[in-house]
Amino acid sequence: MKRLYLLLPSMLIAVAPLRAQFSIGIQAGAGRNYLHTDISNRPFTAYKASTIFEVGVPVRYTFNTWLSAQTGLQFAQKNYEMYRSGYYDGIYEKTINNYLQLPVMAHFSFGGPKIKGFLDLGGYTAWWMSSKRKGTQPNMENVVETPEKYTSIFDMYRPYHYSEKYTFNGTKDRRMEWGGLAGIGVEYSPVPNYLLFITGRYTVAFTDQQKNYMVHLVPRYNETFSVQLGGMITISR
């Protein structure tokens, strides 16, 4: 990953002409985040993708008609959900994770002066700002006195609903995330110096959400698919 960040600036500088231009804009979108982990040791448990929201301020430095460098801060969610089945049906937890993310990528364009397709390739670093958990669990202190059946754990214990902010643990939680990204899209320039775009983007974490604080630790990685809309204006040449 570090080699990628060193290679991209070198490549961009090598091809940069004298008539480069600087652009800035805004973009927002939504998508789905997946938590990849091994749950083979947790029967009747499944993790599912959850809807996420993203918003950011893209900054682009264009070297020529086909190559640019792009970055810009983003607010990015990386949410996921956990559900249990069988006897534990009804137990679930939704995790809402908020990140401050900085992508760095090469932006390759192709097409005419008004409509162009593009391909983005690069990486990102992100800071895990906050997390919130909400869901339903059995309340072991609230026993059903005369249950009629025992087909579910909630026939024995009444449900407990919760919604709470997660407190990070410095020993366990890795709050800095690194990863790779790729995107493809179309941009349209209705008038000179202005453009609108739509892009589909894929990001995948290379770092575990957890620090290596114990043996036989099961890794947990984020993977996100999103669609973003935005616009940019060229402010200098």
User: Domains in the chain and their CATH numbers?
Assistant: 2-236 (2.40.160.20)
Whether 229 and 36 have beta carbons less than 8 Å apart is answered as: no
Give the integer Cα–Cα distance in Å for 134 and 142.
Answer: 19
Tokens of 220: 């947990």
SS3 3: helix
pTM value surpassing 0.75? yes
What number is the average pLDDT over the span 36-64? 94
Residue 140 has pLDDT above 60, yes or no: yes
Residue 209 has pLDDT above 60, yes or no: yes
Confidence of residue 237 (pLDDT cuts 50, 70, 90): low
Quick: pLDDT tens for 145-168. Answer: 776 677 889 888 999 999 999 999
Give the integer Cα–Cα distance in Å for 65 and 21.
Answer: 11
Residue 130 has pLDDT above 50, yes or no: yes
**Which among 165, 232, 228 is positioned nearest to 30, based on CA atoms?**
228
Quick: pLDDT tens for 20-33. Answer: 799 999 999 999 99
Residue 2 has pLDDT above 80, yes or no: no
20 or 51: which leads in pLDDT? 51
**Which among 82, 94, 92, 86 is positioned nearest to 153, based on CA atoms?**
86
pLDDT at 129: 98
Query: 12: part of which helix (H) or strand (E)?
Result: helix 2-15
pLDDT at 16: 46
Phi then psi dihedrals of residue 57, to 5 deg: -120, 95
Residue 5 has pLDDT above 50, yes or no: no
The strand pairing partners of 26, in sequence order, are: 231
Question: What percentage of residues in the chain have a pLDDT greater than 90?
Answer: 79
Average pLDDT score, the chain? 91
Quick: pLDDT tens for 68-111. Answer: 999 999 999 999 999 999 999 999 999 999 999 999 999 999 99
